[in-house]
Structure 1
Amino acid sequence: MGHKTAVFRKEHFNAAHRLHVEDWSAEKNAELFGKCNLPHYHGHNYELVVKVVGYPDPVSGYLIDMKVLSELVQREVLEHFDHKNLNLDVPFFKNINPTAENIAVVIFNLLRPHIPGEIDLQIRLYETERNFVEYPANI
């Protein structure tokens, strides 16, 4: 069966967002989210790392064609998120607060249907150089 291998694709996108819960008071939102709750939004230079794990094909040697993975991320993620206001321009966040955690889950859900089921998928999203999330966390 070969050796289980991890393959990574790194991408970058810029997006604005505001962390805000409509049912909360302005004071509670400001207390929890701080600068991330500014009414006119704020932006990040996100770094996205897509990790796929599985057994490479014994003939081609590929777990996944990196060109195919790159095109998939471009089409399913970057075209929707890059240079957008996540709250206003991206329908996936109409009813979801665009935290880094939720963005990672949305990206996972956009990519998962296009990755063969025998290949595991994990999303690592850097909101800043020091702050990042992984979804799912158990891979």
Structure 2
Amino acid sequence: MHTIGLKKQCKAKHFLPDQKGKENDIHSHKYTIEVIFSGEKINKKGYLLDINELNKILEKIFEKFENNILNELPEFRNINPTLENFSKILWRLIGKELETENISTLKVKIHESEDAYASYGGKLQD
């Protein structure tokens, strides 16, 4: 199985309404987001996925989150903006944008610090 990944950063704000203390206040994170793709086939050029195309997809998606309060975005309506939920939302959005039959699985891993991260991954629909 071939694997390719990209790591990007995105600044966003959020608050966790069910928490007590500082997490309940609006605060920002400089998220480091790793996106990892896997598949059995590579294309005629020898790529599983073109990194330049992937960069364009990620920039387009991350643009809607950059410097915004996650709680106020439609993607987080009725959802607590935890790392777990953010990684699943990004997984869905990135999966929808992919136009390649070579990718079978996608994993999104989000770090809010060097120590804390969450991820979501799985098979993409045929």
Q: TM-score range by the shorter chain?
A: 0.7 to 0.9
Scaled by the length of structure 2, what TM-score is found? 0.87
Say if 1:58 and 1:94 are closer, same or farther in 2 by CA, change over 3 A. Answer: closer
Say if 1:43 and 1:122 are closer, same or farther in 2 by CA, change over 3 A. Answer: same
Preserved contact between residue 18 and residue 42 of structure 1 (Cα < 8 Å): yes
Write the mapping of 1:19-34 to structure 2, written as runs, cut at 5 A. 19-21=16-18, 29-30=19-20, 34=21
Tell me the percent identity: 30
**TM-superposition CA deviations, 1:3-38 (whole Å, max 9, x none):** x211011110111101114xxxxxxx41xxx32112
Structure with higher helix content = 1
For 1:35, the equivalent position in structure 2 comes to: 22
For 1:5, the equivalent position in structure 2 comes to: 2
Give 2:42's aligned amino acid: D
Identify unmatched segments of 5+ residues in structure 1. Answer: 22-28
How many residues are paired up?
Answer: 121
After TM superposition, the runs of 4+ consecutive aligned structure 1 residues lying more than 6 A away are none
Deviation at residue 95 of structure 1 after TM alignment: 1.2
- SS of the residue 1:81 aligns to: coil
Preserved contact between residue 10 and residue 48 of structure 1 (Cα < 8 Å): yes
For 1:52, the equivalent position in structure 2 comes to: 37
Say if 1:73 and 1:64 are closer, same or farther in 2 by CA, change over 3 A. Answer: same
State the alpha-carbon separation in 1 of the partners of residues 38 and 10 from structure 2: 23
- SS of the residue 2:64 aligns to: helix
Identify unmatched segments of 5+ residues in structure 2. Answer: none
State the alpha-carbon separation in 1 of the partners of residues 33 and 39 from structure 2: 20
Scaled by the length of structure 1, what TM-score is found? 0.80
Deviation at residue 55 of structure 1 after TM alignment: 2.6
Deviation at residue 128 of structure 1 after TM alignment: 1.0
The one of 118, 124, 127 aligned to 2:112: 127
CA RMSD of aligned residues (A): 1.8
Write the mapping of 1:109-124 to structure 2, written as runs, cut at 5 A. 109-115=92-98, 116=100, 118-119=102-103, 120-124=105-109
